[in-house]
Amino acid sequence: MSLILELSKFESLFKDLLTLIVTKKKTVWENNKSSCVKYMNEVSEFFAGNRNWGIEYQDLDLSEYFKRIGNTIEEFEYGQTTKVGRKIQKMLQALEDL
């Protein structure tokens, strides 16, 4: 009887932990997405000539490119993990090719 009671307590604790993980997962996703958009916009501003990171450099094509990447990231939806994963892989490959 005590084994069943202990298993029941464990099951309840396990359920609470999984619920917490799932709840935090979306928050982490949104925070990371916002950070990525912010960083892409900063890189875009650098190539537009509006930020000085130790050197002056201007390339309006690269500025527009990174702005588009930021906009694409901003459109990512939490529930569409497969679609977003494919887009991220394509973006990473494009950045490596750059």
pLDDT at 93 over 80: yes
Average pLDDT over residues 24-34: 91
Give the contacts of 25 (CB within 8 A, at least 6 positions apart).
none
**Which pTM does this prediction carry?**
0.73
Q: What is the rounded average pLDDT for all residues in the chain?
A: 89
If pLDDT is split at 50, 70 and 90, which confidence band does 35 have? very high
Name which residue leads in pLDDT, 52 or 38: 38
**pLDDT tens digit sequence for 10-20:** 899 989 998 88
H-helix segments, 1-80 = 2-47, 60-74
If pLDDT is split at 50, 70 and 90, which confidence band does 1 have? low
Helix (H, G, I), strand (E, B) or coil at 49: coil
